[in-house]
Amino acid sequence: MHISEGILSPAVLIGGAAITAAGVAVGMRGLDQKEIPSIGILSAAFFVASLIHVPAGPVSVHLILNGLVGLILGWKAFPAILVGLALQALLFQFGGITTLGVNTLNMALPAVVCYCLFGWGTRSGTGRYAFIFAAFASGFCAVLMAGILVGLSLYLTGEAFLPAAKLVVAAHLPVMFVEGILTAACALFLRKVRPEILEVAHAPD
C-alpha cells in the first residue's frame, strides 16, 4: 500500500527518509558492481509480481512479496525496493517524491527484519518443515509489519487518522495468509529448481 503525497506530516516524512537513507547505505555497502544486473532484474521481477492480482474470497489482492524480497536479497532489499517504488511513482504515480522515503521504509524494513529472523531457515541444509515454516513466517510477518508501519505512519501524522489506520492494518490481515502461503510455495519451488537464488543475500563479497 502506497501512501500518496501530501498526507503525512513533515516529521514523519523526514524520519522515514532518514531511516531509508541509512538502510540504503547499508544495502549499498555490500553491493558489488557485478551484482547490479541481477539485483536490477530481480527487482524488476518483483515490480511485475506486484501487478499480479490473486483472488482472496470475494475480492482480489495484489501481491507484495516483500517477505520473499527480504529472503532473497537481505539488506539489498532496501536499494531494490527504493528503485522499484521510485519507478512506480514515475510510471504510475503510485506514491511520490516526498513520500518515497516513508514508502520504502514501510516495505523494506519488514523485508530486512524477516531476513534477520527467518533467513536461517531458507539456507541450504535446513529440513523441509523448518524451511516451509521459515518461508511462510517470512511472507506472513513481512505483510503484517508493512501494514502496521503504514498504519503507524498515518497515526503519527495525526490522532484523527487512527480509525483509518486501524482499517488499513485490518485490510492487511487476509493478505498476510495469502502472502505466507505464496512465499512458502515459491521458496519451495526455488529450492527445487534453482537453490542458488536463495543464496544471493549471503553470497561472499
Partner 1 sequence: MIEELSNGDSFIKRLDPRIKIVVVFLFSVVVAVSNQLPVLMLALALSLLIVLSAGVPTKEFLRRLIPVNMLIIFLWLFLPFTFAGKAAFFIGPLAVTHEGVLYATRITIKSNAMMLMLIALVASTPIFTMGHAMHELGIPKKIVHLFFFTYRYIHVMHREYARLLNSMKIRGFRPKTSLHTYKTFAYMVGMLLVRSFDRAQRVHNAMLCRGFKGNLYSLSKFSIKRRDVVSLVCMLTAIILLGVMEWKKTI
Query: Should residue 204 be labelled a site residue for partner 1 when binding is judged by CB under 8 A?
Result: no
For partner 1, the binding residue among 16, 74, 96, 101 (CB under 8 A) is 96
- CA dist., res. 17 & res. 11, Å (int): 10
User: Within 142-181, which residues bind partner 1 (CB under 8 A)?
Assistant: 158-164, 167, 178, 181
Q: Closest approach of Cβ 165 to partner 1, in Å?
A: 9
Closer residue to partner 1 (CB): 81 or 109 = 81
Looking at the chain, how many residues does it have?
A: 205
Q: Closest approach of Cβ 197 to partner 1, in Å?
A: 5
Q: Closest approach of Cβ 72 to partner 1, in Å?
A: 8
Q: Closest approach of Cβ 110 to partner 1, in Å?
A: 18
User: Within 43-62, which residues bind partner 1 (CB under 8 A)?
Assistant: 43-45, 47-49, 51-52, 54-57
Q: Closest approach of Cβ 147 to partner 1, in Å?
A: 15
Cell representation of residue 66:
516483500
State the amino acid at position 79 in one-letter form. P
For partner 1, the binding residue among 16, 63, 102, 153 (CB under 8 A) is 63
**CA dihedral defined by 84, 95, 117, 186, rounded to 10 degrees?**
-50
For partner 1, the binding residue among 189, 199, 202, 203 (CB under 8 A) is 189
Q: Closest approach of Cβ 116 to partner 1, in Å?
A: 21
Closer residue to partner 1 (CB): 6 or 127 = 6
User: Within 65-94, which residues bind partner 1 (CB under 8 A)?
Assistant: 65, 68, 72, 79-80, 82-84, 86-87, 89-94
End-to-end CA distance of the chain: 33
149 with 103: CB under 8 angstroms? no
Residue 151 Cα distances to 60, 156, 185, 188, angstroms:
21, 9, 28, 31
Q: How many residues bind partner 1 (CB under 8 A)?
A: 72
Name every residue whose Cβ is closer than 8 Å to that of residue 148 and which is 6 or more positions away in sequence. Answer: 169
State the amino acid at position 170 in one-letter form. A
Task: Tell me the sheet residues that pair with 56.
Answer: 59
65 with 110: CB under 8 angstroms? no
